[in-house]
Chain A
Amino acid sequence: MAEITYRDALNAAMCQEMDRDDSVFLMGEEVAEYDGAYKVSRGMLDRYGDRRVVDSPISELGFTGLCVGAAMTGLRPICEFMTFNFSFLAIDQVINSAAKMMYMTNGQVPVPIVFRGPTGAALQLSAQHSQACETWYVHAPGVKLVTPATPADAKGLLAAAIRDDDPVAVMEGELLYNVRGEVPDEEYVIPLGVADLKRSGDDVSIVTHGKMVHVALQAARTLARDGIEADVLDLRSIRPLDVDAILETVARTNRVVYLEEGWPFAGVGAQIVSLIQDEGFDDLDAPVVRVTQADVPMPYAKNLEQLAKPGVKAVVEACRKVLYLPAGGR
């Protein structure tokens, strides 16, 4: 175990998989000579050469489709989006090609591809560069999605995504790249579809994913000062979804807050709420409350951005609400 950054953990996962499987290659904007826009692929060009670490033109639709095409022959591309915002140019190839290929060919053509890059807002990047893109990807059957929150999860989940035979989106966070944590040095793979209880407490469950795990943990610490102990369940994988883990925490605390970075309408939380009311309704003592970004495009101005983002205070208040406590926690 060494303490490394989330960025280096992603790098380690790619190298781990590229060492063991020549069919894995990395393509994207600035991934080779520039070491990646966020330096995630540092050193990989030197290590693997330009056959396997490839700078693309700024042609998202084109290089995504190219990667999907290569995957249709059994190669295992890692298709990097500088940020997932730019993947909207390529969403046709993600949804209409990658997601549906297996099904419409009656299983002849699996598409073992990874789409990866940062999702969500960083700081003051304004509307076109600050959006959580999870819903776009999980909406379509045929795509899987993981959202690592810690360095160890980054390594294990990315490795699993590369090994998986389906299209898997790995959504990272610009603000996560510098986060440090213990990561196993040896080969490390976390199976898709296994949530992780990042903190346990029996009073209320904060279910979340990705970067928001850190906001949830902070909220849990705040609540603890008032004697409220929260579970923080990190889904890690949105599809496949660890339904058992969700129902377990619901059954234990009977009170749930879903926290996500994205917009509420058809958000990941909407699906989780629906699931809980379908399969865990009798365990609930209060309606589930969702904490999301305000239902507006991300504004640039610092004060408005702060207001639009889901923060610790909103999570604390949501937890108090499902506990039927008066507003105004610390």
Chain B
Amino acid sequence: MTQATRETETGVNGDAAAVATKGGPGAGSGLRGFSRDDLHGLLADMLLYRRFEEKAEEAYAIGKIGGFCHLHIGQEGLAAGAIKPLRADDLVITAYREHTQALAKGITPRAAMAELYGRSGGCSGGRGGSMHLFDTSLGFYGGHGIVGGQIPLGAGLAWAIRYRGGDQVCVCFMGDAAVNQGSFLESLNMSAVWQLPVIYVVENNGYGMGTAFSRVSVTDMEARSGAYGIPAHTVDGQDVLETYRFFEELAGQVRAGAGPQFVNALTYRFRGHSMSDPVSGTYRSRAEVERHVEEQDPITILRDRMMDADLLTQEELEAVDAEARAASEDAADFADASPPPDPSTLYDHVYAEINEHGRLFLDGRGKGPAAGAGGPAAPGFGGGDHG
């Protein structure tokens, strides 16, 4: 499905049309089934994600964050909608655009921001950075930088669940461009053969860097899983309520043994691919971006719906937003104050076990004989003027 058709299916009003799903749970975009607290919770979550990443953007601009930094801004409905309905012991794995999924799975803003800053207080000790947020104690398995690399890993997490006889599910996110990797096809096949409890979710923002999906792919996204007998579903990722309801039901089905699932989650990236990439340019027009920001912002959509239903006042909104901003500021302050990793830990965690015999590290650093000891004097360099 193209971005254009998606737009006709979603509206910013409370009565936005439901997006059809194939073979999956029914969906509807009303407030039905959500308590006031639920709604406020989802709004607060998404606002936190937004403010957190805006803070990261600011920090990047002044050099506090380096390297690649891929923002999820515009796609927060998926982090909240797909992860919040999961159980705490369910597993999530994704690619490098993962700050908000990490927050959704329970990594604190402080631990996430400190990781972006490369500090010891980060959730990967400062070793991973923006692309490699991890906290397996929370069921968050990263944070992977090679396009498609996490897909078989997701199958492996699901395999391990089944192997141990557990009833968790694994949600494995990927970008739309990742479905053209062989790892995707191989993983789908194995997941189907072994009926693994995994939900593959394509965050279909329409582009892989500067390449529109349709330019390098001929089939519709939903058609990708059919050959493996894996049910395909489409969900509007900008509609957090629809997404939440959908994943709540689907996760329940997978938990009960429905086998692997494939979800085409329609969404849109509001920022450039990474910090060095312009928001719009050769591959998409500024007008296209502006239209999406205007009409397809998951936060605005929820906000308007809640306000229309008299479930949110302007003052409440401002209070929630102030909290999100405060938490992001606090995260940045924490990151700033967190010390860089201790240099003496450089070699820690390369191996889980340092064996009794043999040498693991071959760079000879600090192992050579003291310089200047023994050996013939170098010709032409007598005297002590080289210190």
Q: Which of A61, A85, A126, A290 contacts B129 (CB 8 A)?
A: A126
Question: Which stretch, A29-37, A94-102, A179-187, touches the partner chain B?
Answer: A29-37
Main secondary structure of the interface of B (DSSP, over half): loop
Question: Which stretch, B2-10, B142-150, B247-255, touches the partner chain A?
Answer: B142-150
Chain A residues whose CB sits within 8 angstroms of the CB of B14 once the complex forms: none
Report the separation of the CA atoms of residues A29 and B144 in the bound assembly, to the nearest whole angstrom: 19
Chain B residues whose CB sits within 8 angstroms of the CB of A302 once the complex forms: 66, 118, 340
Residue contact B386 to A329, C-beta cutoff 8 Å: yes
Residues 277-308 of A at the B interface (beta carbon under 8 Å) = 285-286, 289-290, 292-297, 299-304, 307-308
Shortest CB-to-CB span from A121 to chain B, Å, is 10
Residues 207-245 of A at the B interface (beta carbon under 8 Å) = 226-228
Shortest CB-to-CB span from B108 to chain A, Å, is 19
Shortest CB-to-CB span from A185 to chain B, Å, is 29
Report the separation of the CA atoms of residues A289 and B132 in the bound assembly, to the nearest whole angstrom: 34
Residue contact A29 to B211, C-beta cutoff 8 Å: yes
Chain A residues whose CB sits within 8 angstroms of the CB of B124 once the complex forms: 300
Is A123 among interface residues, defined by CB-CB distance under 8 A? yes
Residues 146-203 of B at the A interface (beta carbon under 8 Å) = 146-149, 177-178, 180-183
Residue contact B215 to A55, C-beta cutoff 8 Å: yes
Shortest CB-to-CB span from A13 to chain B, Å, is 24
Residue contact B346 to A304, C-beta cutoff 8 Å: yes
Report the separation of the CA atoms of residues A299 and B67 in the bound assembly, to the nearest whole angstrom: 11
CB 8 Å contact bits of B109-128 with A (1 = contact, 0 = none): 00000000011000010111
CB 8 Å contact bits of B339-351 with A (1 = contact, 0 = none): 0110101110010
Shortest CB-to-CB span from A107 to chain B, Å, is 31
Chain A: interface residue count, which band? 35 or more
Residues 124-147 of A at the B interface (beta carbon under 8 Å) = 124-129
Number of B residues, CB within 8 Å of A: 60
Is A264 among interface residues, defined by CB-CB distance under 8 A? yes
Is B228 among interface residues, defined by CB-CB distance under 8 A? no
Shortest CB-to-CB span from B82 to chain A, Å, is 22
Residues 108-161 of A at the B interface (beta carbon under 8 Å) = 122-129
Q: Which of A289, A323, A328 contacts B381 (CB 8 A)?
A: A323
Known: A126-B145, A327-B371. A304 touches B216 (CB 8 A): no
Question: Which stretch, B25-33, B285-293, B312-320, B358-366, touches the partner chain A?
Answer: B358-366
Residue contact A57 to B216, C-beta cutoff 8 Å: yes
Shortest CB-to-CB span from B219 to chain A, Å, is 12
Known: A128-B146, A300-B127. A57 touches B217 (CB 8 A): yes
Is A7 among interface residues, defined by CB-CB distance under 8 A? no
Is A325 among interface residues, defined by CB-CB distance under 8 A? yes
Residue contact A325 to B381, C-beta cutoff 8 Å: yes
Which B residues lie at the A interface, using CB under 8 A? Answer: 66-68, 118-119, 124, 126-129, 131-132, 144-149, 177-178, 180-183, 208-211, 215-217, 282-283, 340-341, 343, 345-347, 350, 360-365, 368, 370-372, 374-378, 380-381, 385-387
- Besides the known contacts A127-B145, A227-B385, A304-B346, 6 further A-B residue pairs in the complex with CB atoms under 8 A apart: A55-B215, A58-B147, A58-B181, A128-B131, A226-B385, A303-B340
- 19 inter-chain pairs at a CB distance below 8 angstroms, sorted by A residue, are A29-B211, A33-B215, A58-B147, A61-B181, A62-B182, A86-B147, A203-B381, A227-B386, A228-B381, A265-B362, A295-B365, A300-B128, A300-B132, A304-B118, A320-B372, A321-B368, A324-B376, A325-B381, A327-B370
